[in-house]
Amino acid sequence: MYLMLRAHAVYLVDFACFRTKPNCRVPFAMFLEHSHVWPGFDERSVWFMTWLLERSGLREMCLPYVQHYIPPSCDLESSRSVAELIIFFAIDDLLTKTGRRERA
């Protein structure tokens, strides 16, 4: 019972972050302007995003290609392509940093 309930140690070997291409960067003003016309964002959501972005200290943010259009593409294929881009980039970068190879 002790072996099942004891805390297991977790070690951080390395980490990786997704770094996007410069053409995905969007100024906050443009993002906030677009957020007013995007479906699914009410005034309270836009206010909260504005409040958060003003306090973040960043000057621009990165958005996936599908959210650069008005209205943004909300289909499954676009969402999948964004997820694959981010996840695969981060995993490949992490495997490169740690010197591991992918398993076949």
Give the pLDDT score at 90.
83
E strand segments, 31-96? 60-62
Give the separation between CA 67 and CA 30, rounded to whole angstroms: 12
104 lies in some domain: no
Are 93 and 8 contacting, i.e. CB atoms less than 8 angstroms apart? Answer: no
Q: Which domain holds residue 67?
A: 2-98
Number of domains into which the chain is organized: 1
pTM of the model: 0.54
Give the separation between CA 75 and CA 70, rounded to whole angstroms: 14
Both tokens assigned to 71: 């209205």
Give the pLDDT score at 92.
84
Q: What is the residue-level pLDDT of the chain in tens, covering all 104 positions?
A: 777 788 878 777 777 777 777 777 788 788 788 888 877 788 898 899 888 888 877 677 777 767 777 777 777 887 788 788 888 888 888 888 877 766 54
Both tokens assigned to 42: 């009410």
E strand segments, 1-104? 25-27, 60-62
9 lies in some domain: yes
